[in-house]
A and B are shown apart, each in its own frame.
Chain A
Amino acid sequence: MTTGTLESPESHTQASPAGPAVALSTLARGQRAVVREARMPTDDAALLRAMGMCECALLTVARTGEPFVVTVTGVDGADCKCHRAGGCRIGLSREMAQRIFVSIIA
């Protein structure tokens, strides 16, 4: 299985690290985190990226369990030009949430 990343190959800007990367599925409701890495097939990673869950995307957990729901509220870190407001709500299977690694910020 080819694995993809939420960071595109042409650039390697990193989000400001805010802690060790943990699986998104381990977060509690209301916790905020920054996306660091996705360990999944390239196509799935590309789709997530296009949906806004790119590397250094800022997430808030809206629901845990199956399904897992996050709101993508912005992009974190100076490198990533944090200007965004608005956002979207994405529902994921727990399996997908287990493959996305994030740094908890709040």
Chain B
Amino acid sequence: MAIPASTNPAPAIGGAPAPESDARIIALVGNPNTGKTTLFNRISGLNHKTSNFAGTTLEARIARVRAGIEGGRDGDLIDLPGVYSIELDALESRIVRDVLAGQLAPRGHAIGVPEVCVIVVDATNLARNLMMVGEVIRRRLPTLVVVNMIDLAQRQGLTIDAHKLSEALGCGVVMTNARTGEGIDQVRMGIREARIPTPVRPVPGEGPKAAAAGSVLGGGAAGGSTALRVWAEEVFALAAAENVGRCKKCGYDVSTLADRKGKCPECGAPYARTDTSASEATTDKIDRVLMHPVLGVLVFAAVMTGLFWSLFSLAAYPMDWIDGIFGWTTGTLHEVLPKDSILVDLLTDGVIAGVGATVIFLPQICLLFFLISLLEDTGYLARAALLMDRVLRPFGLPGHAFVPLLSSHACALPGIMATRAIPDRKERLATILVAPFVTCSARLPVYVLLTGLLFAGQPAMAALAFVGCYALGIAAAVFSALIARRTILRGKGRPMVMELPSYKLPSIRTALITTYHRGWVFLKNAGTNILMICIALWWLSSYPKVEPPAEVAKIQASATSLDAHYSGDPENPYPDIPADELVKFAPGGGISPFSAPDELREKADHIEARHQAANSFAGRLGKFIQPVFEPLGYDWQLSIGVLSSFAAREVFVSTMAVVVAGSDDAEDAGVLQQVATAKRDDGVTPVFTRATAWSLLIYYVLAMQCLPTLAVTARESGSWKWAGLQLVWMCGIAYLAAMVVFQVLA
């Protein structure tokens, strides 16, 4: 239902610079928890792009809105951050203010005053939301008010008269239920017909002078002046309050009476107030469980267990499929392209091995964001954050840090980006600094390898060690936060205050769109930054090309000689060659003369790859830097593994497979066996002793080995100084802890 404004002066925006593109700028604003994002998703579907506001790290989502009429102009709908007031002294509020004033635009967009401002308001909390409507109206922009969640309002017995509200505000009003899509077409129509509002009661502070000032009330009155509040209450009274909280017989105000049912003190007539009490009672009951000191924690533990179980069990299937696709692609390239060409090496060992090792985590990341989006939509996540405030506060972190730390279990990149919700800068910085300590998906292959080596044939113990790694990561994060908040980020944190949204069924559509969006960002990163890193690592590991050792030629010659005699029977591979004759074919080096020719060739390839790795730039660097890792028990081979995985942890496993076993198939059980039994240069000492494996495990739990994370830390904190500190702190702690573990166990 679109209610156009009764008055319609032309939208003259004096002095505003016109946008370069022909598309109109349409600003989408609103309080948090009003369903603004759901509405945006409804309008845009999957068809939107992401940018950020120039000079800030805040994300802006932009969707093209078609004109829908002949001669009309398309518009760019910009989803602005949800704020309680555009006059607050907070980054999000400043951004909304600046965009509405035509002083800021998302990167890549021409700066200009929006031609339409769409304000989303919560029908169940209309009076408060109208204060923000007033703040926007006094900027004299063509405006459309979208009253969302009308279904919830109706369920609570609230009746809002759209015609009266439109008359009171002097602009178009549309009633929607963004969750079901009700009213979305009317929003599109309303955007086309938006006009500068002419409210029946002038908004306090309205006028060109005030609008030009940007922040009308200044900091002291930010967040809703009394005059604005009274104006909002008056508008609310005109549009929605006729029968709410009033005695139906005499109109006496019964809203403040303690009882929902009773006799009116003024006229004695029975009243049954149609207010939010019933809904509140249900919310109270649920909250009593979810926020109970004991029950709440148990529910929280159950929810988190379910979430992580889903991540590691359900995501395993698509991860296997992706792994299969990359494996098939590698095999096909080897078959199709000329053997031993640089192009094959680059594509298979550089691009596919590197990018594949990252993209394989896409299902886990998508599933995590899907589940987080569902939880957020139900209203539970805000409660969980509030509950966690009590746990995190002693370590100097706010409850707001809970969601970023949770997201970091999939990948630190979205986790760090999620810290934008933390209002206090020092608390936000502390969360950014410690988030990468939390075990992310990229560490899992390393954990699998090392716990498998440490507890071969003891799955229960391996699982326990796995859980211990997670616990150590969380402990390192909170204690590092404590140290940071007591030293470089000293200061009293802001006490927690958070709106707790109504409980509701989550929107699968919204969760899917969020998942698609986040997954796409992750893929773009894998296709750009990580791809470049992988190519660089491939080059360092593959060059300079060195001649294979003489041993390789000898083994290959043996294989060729034996081809004609091979029977295919593993028990008796060469029946026509007497055993004493067969020994002459043995290539030496401990290789059995009874090996099949293909096995011999495989061994030759392994030896060649290992020789190449040892003499490559990365290998030389590994030998050069090995003394640094000597106290941790690492030889040059492990040093290469640690070095090569500096850019991305998961590279460690494939590097070790190449360096130690001469194969890049880290999932091959034979290769893992070779890794487990690999020897140092002396040919006697194992590469992976118990002490070395524990030391490596501790190192990988704690070390900062992810270049993209450092880049995001620098971007989100606004300085490379913080990224540098994060690198030094995490690697320093990891080095010391790994050294202590090795020295004690060795």
Contact = CB atoms under 8 A, between A and B. Distances in A.
Interface of A: 7-13, 32, 40, 42-52, 54-55, 58, 60, 62-63, 65-67, 69, 71-76, 80-93, 95-96, 99, 105-106
Contact size range, B: 35 or more
A51 B494 CA distance: 16
A10 B224 CA distance: 11
A44 B387 CA distance: 20
Contacts, number: 193
A81 B390 contact: no
A83 B498 contact: no
Contacts of A49: 85, 223-224
A81 B233 contact: yes
Contacts of A11: 225-227
Given A67-B291, A91-B497, 14 more contacts: A8-B224, A10-B217, A50-B223, A52-B128, A62-B287, A83-B244, A84-B233, A84-B236, A85-B276, A86-B126, A86-B127, A89-B501, A90-B498, A92-B497
A50 B256 contact: no
B617 interface: no
A8 B89 CA distance: 15
Interface in B267-283: 275-276, 280, 283
A76 B284 CA distance: 22
B461 interface: no
Contacts of A47: 84, 88, 90, 223, 423, 497
B496 A96 contact: yes
B640 to A, nearest CB: 49
19 contacts: A8-B217, A8-B220, A10-B227, A49-B223, A50-B88, A62-B284, A67-B389, A67-B399, A72-B128, A74-B255, A75-B229, A76-B256, A81-B233, A83-B244, A84-B241, A85-B245, A89-B287, A91-B382, A92-B498
Residue among A11, A44, A96 with max Cβ neighbours from chain B (10 Å):
A11
Contact of A93 (B85, B280, B423, B496): B496
Contacts of B230: 13, 80-81
A75 B130 CA distance: 14
Contacts of B125: 52, 86-88
Interface of B: 83-85, 87-90, 123-128, 131, 153, 156, 158, 217, 219-227, 229-230, 233-234, 236-237, 240-241, 244-245, 253, 255-256, 258, 275-276, 280, 283-284, 287-288, 291, 293, 382-383, 386-387, 389-390, 393, 399, 423, 494-502
B220 A81 contact: no
A79 to B, nearest CB: 9
A54 B88 contact: no
Contact of A84 (B127, B222, B390, B494): B127
Given A46-B89, A62-B287, A63-B291, A51 B84 contact: yes
Given A8-B221, A9-B220, A63-B287, A93 B389 contact: yes
Nearest to B238: A83
Q: Which 7 A-B pairs have the closest CB atoms?
A: A46-B223, A50-B223, A50-B84, A11-B226, A50-B85, A85-B244, A96-B495
A86 B158 CA distance: 7
Nearest to A52: B128
Given A8-B221, A67-B291, A90-B497, A73 B276 contact: yes
Given A82-B255, A83-B236, A84-B233, A91 B496 contact: yes
Nearest to A98: B495
Contacts of B241: 83-85
B497 A42 contact: no
A105 B244 contact: no
B395 to A, nearest CB: 15
